[in-house]
Amino acid sequence: MTKLLVIMGSGETTPTMIKPHRQFFDALRGETRAALLDTPYGFQLNADEISARAVGYFAQSVGRAVDVVSWRRAPAPGLDRERALAALRGANWIFAGPGSPTYALRQWRDTELPSLLVQAEVLVFASAAALTLGSHTIPVYEIYKAGADPRWEPGLNLFEQLTGVPAVVIPHYDNAEGGHH
């Protein structure tokens, strides 16, 4: 069961987060087996670049090796799916971050993945991934980029499962990076 649930807004791979990330890794018992889950940004054309930058950040700045577990689309039953699930089962630190919360939810819902996430000793979810943790989420891309009406979408509800507190997670509600949005 998760010992440490870390929820971040934006800036998860900035210089100011090096010390906190080191502390999160230090909370692990025994050998570190770290996995970066690429789902939230898996639809983006530059997904490989985002993964490479994150792996580089953790190696160079935090001093930890992190393996990418690719789940850009829920793999069909077979070898690829079993490899990804085995990597997540073996990880004691799992990180997921930017992208689209609703895209990630479509890939994760009704799979084994949510039950594996809560088994990680340290679960670090930032930005879009953090939005999936609550009972509901905001379809950010659909509202801000496609003009859909604001609404709620069902989340994974892992926050309540891990803490006993029913909640919706809005990690960077006051972020002004979008400027005029």
User: What does the pLDDT look like over 112-166, one tens digit per residue?
Assistant: 999 999 999 999 999 999 999 999 999 988 998 889 999 999 999 999 999 999 9
CA 76 and chain centroid, separation:
21
Name the average pLDDT for the chain. Answer: 93
Question: Strand, coil or helix: what is 37?
Answer: strand
- Please state, in angstroms and rounded to a whole number, the distance separating the CA atoms of residues 141 and 126: 16
CB 10 within 8 A of CB 175: yes
pLDDT band, very low/low/confident/very high, at 11 (cuts 50, 70, 90)? confident
Per-residue DSSP letter, 155: -
Decide: 38 and 72 in contact? Cβ < 8 Å: yes
Instruction: Name the CATH superfamily housing domain 4-129.
Output: Class I glutamine amidotransferase (GATase) domain (3.40.50.880)
pLDDT of 28-58, one tens digit each?
A: 999 999 999 999 999 999 999 999 999 999 9
Tens digit of each residue's pLDDT (9 = 90 or more) over 80-115: 999 999 999 999 999 999 999 999 999 999 999 999
Distance CA 163, CA 5 (A): 9
Measure the CA–CA gap between 104 and 141, rounded to whole angstroms.
12
In sequence order, what DSSP letters do the residues of 12-32 get, joined into one string? Answer: TTSGGGHHHHHHHHHT--SS-
What dihedral do alpha carbons 40, 167, 22, 24 form, nearest 10°? -110
What band does 172 get if pLDDT is binned at 50, 70 and 90? confident
Place of tokens 């987060």: 17
Q: How many helices (H) and strands (E) does the chain have?
A: 8, 7
Domain ranges of the chain: 4-129
